[in-house]
Structure 1
Amino acid sequence: MFHKTSARYSAAFLGLLLALGSCKKETTPKPNAYLALNYPTQEYKTYENSYHHFTFDLNKNATAKELKSTAFEIHYPEMKATIFMNYKTVDNNLDVLLKDAQKLTYEHFIKADEIIEQPFLNEKDRVFGMFYHVGGNAATNVQFYATDSVKNFVVASLYFYAKPNFDSILPASHYIQQDMRQMLESLKWEKAAIDN
């Protein structure tokens, strides 16, 4: 009788051990989480560059800072981002300016997953250019250049003050990309800047 009871307890104990050992929960790796960021509604005001007589729509939540006669910045402090813009005069050097602008974009090709080019033509206001979207962990995700092909040339690039991680900056990049499209689409040279 001792042996039967002992065997029952041993079998029950062994069954309990097997049940506990097999109830292990499988862990599944979870992807990195990023904050869901909400940005203010985009409203625009007209920005006029005091040196070169051109205007474009600027997000009311951004601030423009003119550094010198050829360079200025547009700051987005909440997003830790800046659009760097440079103005150059066209003086029989349009080919060189175009090559430099394209070179600036394609220097990021090593880190980029893709580069999408979108030509821009506004014949009425004589604004011709290219809008670039750079996918992946490149230093800059959005760039454009614009010219009247006679006198004026502007190039713009977006940079974040953070290590490039496309997934984490994606919402801010999309937000500012819309602003940069608006800038390009609303860009106007003053008549004096074309005629002189």
Structure 2
Amino acid sequence: MKRLAAVILAGLCLSCAEDPIPKPKAFLRLDYPQANYHTVQTALPFSFEQNEIAEDIDNIKVDKSKNTFGLDIQYPEMKGTIYLTYKQVNKDNLESLIKDAQNLTQKHVVKADEIIEQPYENKLHNVFGMFYEVGGNAASQSQFYVTDSVNHFLTGSLYFYAKPNYDSIYPAAVYLKNDIKHIMETITWN
């Protein structure tokens, strides 16, 4: 009986601890440096300003069968890349190039929570296009196309080297979205 009383007394003493309190929800705080830009002169007929934290563009990919040229702007710290694709416009292909760019964005509708379209127009530099912000767990968080409607057509897409978990990549996606908009705003055709 004394043993049973000792066990009960020990149990009561040990169980009188404070109740566990769940930790409050929090978000990972990632601080990225303020963006500083420099002009990138490419071998292609356009230039733009690129964030200094991105790696310098070292080569142009050529797909002769599709007559396209590709540039990759890599952000190793954020595990992301902005893929740029340039095509020459001729009298017959502008409409199909725009449809292809729009269809590329619409492929993300399955996983996206929303797709926000933002038209872009810079009459001074003859740059017209559309910026797409893709919300949710889609593979690409931002996409765009710009053209002068006569000679040049450029598309861009942001991809991360990670599973698209929107909550996790959100800070980097917002930072790079601003870089994409800056690229669009600083494009000049040569």
Q: Shared topology, TM-score over 0.5?
A: yes
Q: Which moved more, 1:36-45 or 1:114-123?
A: 36-45
TM-score, normalisation: structure 2: 0.83
Say which of 48, 55, 61 aligns to 2:53.
Answer: 61
DSSP 3-state at the match of 2:109: coil
Compute the displacement of 1:38 (Å). Answer: 1.5
DSSP 3-state at the match of 1:154: strand
- Which residue in 1 is equivalent to 2:31? 38
> Pairwise mapping of residues 1-196 of structure 1 onto structure 2 (< 5 A)?
25=19, 27-28=21-22, 31=25, 34=28, 36-51=29-44, 53-62=45-54, 63-64=56-57, 65-68=59-62, 70-91=69-90, 92-190=92-190
Larger radius of gyration: 1
Compute the displacement of 1:110 (Å). Answer: 0.9
Compute the displacement of 1:25 (Å). Answer: 2.1
Q: Distance in 2 between matches of 1:166 and 1:99?
A: 27
RMSD: 2.3
TM-score, normalisation: structure 1: 0.81
Task: Map Cα deviations across residues 91-139 of structure 1 (whole Å, 9 max, x no partner).
Answer: 1211100000000001001111110000001111110000010000100
Q: Distance in 1 between matches of 2:32 and 2:134?
A: 22
Compute the displacement of 1:83 (Å). Answer: 0.5
- Which residue in 2 is equivalent to 1:3? none
DSSP 3-state at the match of 1:39: coil
Q: Distance in 2 between matches of 1:30 and 1:113?
A: 26
Task: Map Cα deviations across residues 153-196 of structure 1 (whole Å, 9 max, x no partner).
Answer: 00000000000011111111111111110000111101xxxxxx
Compute the displacement of 1:18 (Å). Answer: 8.9
The aligned amino acid for 2:165 is N
- Contiguous gaps of at least 5 residues in structure 2: 63-67
Compute the displacement of 1:66 (Å). Answer: 2.3
Q: Distance in 2 between matches of 1:90 and 1:74?
A: 23
Q: Distance in 2 between matches of 1:78 and 1:122?
A: 31
Q: Distance in 1 between matches of 2:34 and 2:26?
A: 27
Compute the displacement of 1:39 (Å). Answer: 1.3
The list of structure 1 runs, each at least 4 consecutive aligned residues, that deviate by more than 6 angstroms after superposition, is 17-24
DSSP 3-state at the match of 1:70: strand
How many residue pairs were aligned?
176
Q: Distance in 1 between matches of 2:179 and 2:83?
A: 13
The aligned amino acid for 1:86 is T
